[in-house]
Every structure is written in structure tokens, then in C-alpha cells.
Amino acid sequence: MISTFFNAAFFDQAVLGITPILLAAMAGTLSERVGLFNIALEGEMLVGAFAAVAGSHFGGSLQTAVLAAIAAGALFSGLLAVGSALLRGNDIVIGISLNLLAAGLTSFLLRTLFGVSGTFSDSAMAGLPRLTVPGVASLPLLGLALGHQNALVYVSWALVVVIAVFLNRTPWGLRLRGIGEQPAAAIALGAGATQYRFIVTLTGGALCGLAGLQLSLGSLTLFSENMTAGRGWIAVAAVMLGRARPLYVAAACVLFGLSDALGLRLQGVGLPNQITDSAPYVVTLAALVIAGLKQRRRTAGVI
Amino acid sequence: MKIAADVRRHLTRHLGPLLPIVGAVAVGFGVCGLIALWVGLSPRLMFQQLMIGAIEGPQLFETVARAVPLVGMTLAAAIPLRAGIVNLGADGQLALGGCAAAIVALYLPAPDLVRLGVALTAGMAVGSAYAALAAAGEIYAGVPLLLSTWLLTYPAKGLCGYLVRSPLRDPSTAWPSTARIAVGSRLGSLLPGTPVNQGFLLIALLAVAVIFIDRRSSVGFELRLRGLNQRFARYGGVALNRQTLGVMLASGAIAGLVGAIMVLGSQFRYTDGALTAPQYSWSGTLAALLAGGEPLGSVIAAVLFAALQTGGFAMERSVEIPRVLTMVLQSIVILFLAMRGAIWKRS
């Protein structure tokens, strides 16, 4: 029973679910560390997903899709960079309106550029091909999940390590953290807070663009309205749970990816999908509550 | 001379704060015009249809009918915003409220009027209780409301979607929806021949009450105090946790009431997704953000947004520009204002 439930397809599904959240959560981690609260991850991801499909459809190749997703994500996050990093506007209000703008804009463009509402899919569109990692792919149970994914999945894992090293082992990472923790001191030491915030926001946009690419061209090749379905918010939650430390954040993303796959599995067993679809959100909320209660208890003990 | 100076001073004091808003609306229209141009449509025709479609003839009543739920959802957003709290979960509270009202209106064995009253109350109670979950999460576990309210919308919509697909499904329709609510348990028409129903009165009454409480009561004063400076409010003796709970209870109750009004007054059944599809909660949040949570300003903004949405339908029909462009317009206005720091300055 257990072995048919948690089979190779389950872990494959989980890895597919983790990837977009992980990429967005890395964007959120960088933002958080530089002292910006980025809740526009959802919108940036949605714009990236749309741009990827548009790039693939009109550009005709995977390269144009990747370029379009990165460029669109970065460009869209430019609005947040200008508003929040440069003009110091309220990042929450800017984030809320950016998310709505992304939803409205992609729906509008879906209707005007592709002439459809709801979902656009085109089987001729190039999706991200799966690669086979020799040796790993033949592992039992986890072979498919770990050794037979598209390049972006491996890139996302590498990024976690790269970002962790960058933040903790490089002078730029130190300055970045300094700006987030003690802006006045960091600025006094000559770190350009505005430049750092600007670059981090744009980089985050590009990462979210890739997250969107994974959503729309990662396993299926389609775009549907609001297809991010709260993944950007789950990424925000993962950043909170992992307290903006890349490896911990990645662990939180794994938890959410597993719950996503579990939801799909339960659906296969016959539970109604309206209920099982809620699994990742409920698990996220439960994790936040448990972590919060633990934190409370710890601080209560100190005082 | 003196009179002229007085008039000018008066104008700048009262209209001064409106100038950035007018500017932002101009920018919003400009950007949408450019978008229309880019996809090969005429901006002039677009705006013309938008205006005519919102106010001409019977369309005016359409706008009024649309303003009822939109003003309601705006108030649901404005009350927390007044205290600097964001409730992003209004969609879930709306759906649950509407679903609960439908269940009561369909299955409660009671006289018509009682059933209607209980249905409205049930909508409010369920919306309220669900919003309180998020408040409890923040008070007891420090889960930010911004995040919890949003994440809670998915299970709420999922539950309602499941209920109308399986146990409550009306097999005679093609849509996942409940059975049709009997005439006796509906909110009747207010102006026969128009889509305006008695929900208008409920929401108008509510708006007046919220404006009054905001301006004249200590509850309203404490809310504004917290919105201006949370630490000072705490120092001044405002029980912040209790206030958070109260604010969310009120906000959720209003969202639930709007759901009940939509089900009992215009749709007469709960259909999966039908309450959230018009995106009243998003327009409401934007309208409330536009006015900084001040209730009267929020209501005015909501009515304008309702006109914009109605105009959007006409625009889509006559010049085939997708009406979702009006959502783009609304978000650009708020985005521009927030970026310039004209509203919601960073604390």
C-alpha cells in the first residue's frame, strides 16, 4: 500500500512542485536579507510564465522562451525596484497592486495576443526537455525524481548553494546583509543601499521569471490565467519559515512540494480534488502556526 | 482679493490631497490607452465606450447594482486598512458567507422572513468566524495576517466548490451549483425592472454606520490611532490584540454579508466561483487603498470603480477590448500612487 502510494511518480511530482516555489523563495530570501519585503513574487512569476509561453510561441525556440521569461520577470520587478528601493514607497501596497496588475495584464494579453480566455496551449511549443543524469537516474524510487528532470530543476538546486555561499562567504553578501540588518551602519561604511536593493529586486524578478518558465513550460506547455495559484505566497511563507537562510528556506520548499504531491496522490485515491487542492495551503499555514508557537515558547522562556 | 485668497486656501486644503490621485488616474488612463494602441485598438473609442457604458440609460442602474457588492467589499477592506491591517482573504470569507446563506435559505424550515434573516446572519457569522481564524493565528502564533488571510482563501473556495459539486449539487443544471432559492427567501427588487435589489439598503446602511463609527466613536478613533502609529496606540492603552480580532470579525462579517446579498439578491443560488469571478474583493481592496482606508473616500472610490467595471462590459461588447483592462487600470492607479509615496507612506 505504502509503496504504491509513495512511488517514483510521487517523488517526481514533488520535485516538479518544489521547483517554482524554490526559485521564487530564493528571490524572496535575497529581498528579505537586503531589507525589502517582497510580496510581488506571485505577480512576477505569473508574468514570467506568460512571457515564457509568448517567447516560445512567437520566437519559436526554447532560447527565446527563457530569455523572454527572465527579461519579463526582471522588467516587471523594475516597477517594485523603482517604487520601493528608489522612491521608498510602501512595499506592501506596491506588492499588492503589482500582483493584481500581473493578473490583469496577463489575462488581457492572453485575450489580445492569443485570442483565447482561460488557457492557451500549443503542443508545437517547445517545452523544457528532461535530461538524464547517468547513475542517479537508475536509482530505485528516487531515480526519476532526482536523475531525470529538466535543466532548470538542477539550476534551482545549484542556486540554493550559490546564494547561500554568496550571502555568507563573499564581501558583497556581507554588505547585502548589512544593509538589511543595519542600513545606517552599512551606508556609513560605503555600501550603496539603493544600488543593492535595486539589483536584488531585479535579480529576484529574473528568478521569479524562471519560476514562471518552470510552471508554464516545465512539464506541460501551456499558460492559464492565474496559474501561479498562490505559489508566490507560499514562497513568501517559506522565506519566513526558513528565516531567510537559503538552506532552511529550501527545506521549507521541499515540505510544500511534498504536500502538493500528496494532494495529487490523495486525489488519485478518490478524494475530491477541490479538497485535496487545498493541501499545500493548509500545510503551509500549519507549518507557520507550529513554527510561530515554537518561537513564542522559546522567547517566553528567555524572558 | 481677500476672498480670492480665502477661496484658494480652501481649495488647496480640501482638494490638495486629491491632486496626486487625479494625476495617477490620468497616468492609468494614459497607460491603458497605450496598451490599447499597442494591440491595435483605438484608445479614443475605448474611453468613449467606457464612459457611455457606465452611465447611459439603463446602464446607470447596472452600475448601481454593481456598486452594492463592491462598496461592501471595499468596507471589508477599509476597516482593517484604517488600522494598518491588510485582509487579503475577503474572497474566501465572501464565498463561505454566500454558501452558508444559500444553505440556510434552501434548507431551514422556517417562515420566509425568518429564513431570510437567518440566512443573512449566517453569511455574516461564517465570514466573521473564518476571518477570526487568521486573527487568532497572528495573535497566538505570530503568523502575519497578510499571509494567513491570503492562504486561507484557497481552502475556503475549495470547500464551497466541493459542497456544490457533491452533497448540495443541483443535478438539473450544467454548473456546479446549489438548487434555486425560493422566491420567498430572496431579497426582493428595490426598483422593479432594474437589477437593484434590497441589498442596496443594507449596504447603504452599513456604509453610513461605518462612516459614523470611524468619525464619531472611540472605536473609530482607536483604529485611526493605530493606523497612524501603532506603538503610540499601544502606549495610549489600545488593546492591540483585541482590536485585531475585532477588526477581522467586522471585516469578515461584511465580506460574508456581501456573499449572502449576492446569493439571496441576484444569483438565487450558490454557483462555484460565481461570487469571486467579478473580483469585487480586489477592486474593493484597491478602492480602500486609494482612500487610505477612510470610509467615505473608499465608498466614493468604490462607486467609481463600479462604474468603470460596468463600462468595461460595454467596451468589451462594442469595441471588443477585453474588460479585464479595467482591472489593469485600477491597479496602475494604486501602483503609481504607492510608488510616489502619495498614499501609504512607508512607516
A105 CB neighbours in chain B (<8 A) are 328
State the pLDDT at residue A303. 47
Torsion over CA of A80, A86, A87 and A93, rounded to 10 degrees? 20
State the pLDDT at residue A224. 92
- CB-based contact B20:B334 (threshold 8 Å): no
pLDDT (tens digit, 9 = 90+) per residue, A205-236?
A: 999 999 999 999 988 888 999 999 999 999 99
Could you say which of B147, B161, B339 has the minimum Cβ distance to residue A233? B147
A272 CB neighbours in chain B (<8 A) are 162, 165-166
Number of A–B residue contacts, CB under 8 Å? 144
DSSP class of B4: H
The reply to whether residue B324 touches residue A82, judged by beta carbons under 8 angstroms, is: no
Between CA A179 and CA B208 the distance in angstroms is: 46
A275 CB neighbours in chain B (<8 A) are 158-159, 162
pLDDT (tens digit, 9 = 90+) per residue, B81-120?
A: 999 999 999 999 999 999 999 999 999 998 989 999 999 9
CATH of domain B57-322: 1.10.3470
pLDDT (tens digit, 9 = 90+) per residue, B227-248?
A: 888 899 999 888 899 999 999 9
pLDDT band for position A4 (cuts 50, 70, 90)? low
Angle at B249 between CA B133 and CA B294, to 5 degrees: 125
State the pLDDT at residue B182. 86
pLDDT band for position B339 (cuts 50, 70, 90)? confident
Radius of gyration of chain B (CA): 21
ipTM: 0.90
Give this prediction's pTM: 0.92
Q: To the nearest whole number, what is the mean pLDDT of chain B? A: 90
For residues A2-10, give the mean pLDDT: 74
- CB-based contact A216:A227 (threshold 8 Å): yes
Check pLDDT > 80 for residue A2: no
Could you say which of A97, A275, A289 has the minimum Cβ distance to residue B334? A97
Domains, chain A, in order of start with CATH, read 2-120+134-302 (1.10.3470.10)
Percent pLDDT > 90 in chain B is 58
Q: How far is A109 from chain B (nearest CA, A)?
A: 9
Chain A contacts in chain B segment 119-178 (CB below 8 A): 137, 140-144, 146-148, 150-152, 154-155, 158-159, 161-162, 165-166
Q: How far is A103 from chain B (nearest CA, A)?
A: 8
pLDDT band for position B258 (cuts 50, 70, 90)? very high
For residues B171-177, give the mean pLDDT: 86
Say whether residue A63 is in contact with chain B using an 8 A CB cutoff: no
Percent pLDDT > 70 in chain A is 97
State the pLDDT at residue B343. 67
Q: Which amino acid appears at position A287 of this protein?
A: A
Partners of residue A150 on adjacent β-strands: A130
For residues A43-67, give the mean pLDDT: 93
Check pLDDT > 80 for residue B292: yes
Between CA B32 and CA B37 the distance in angstroms is: 8
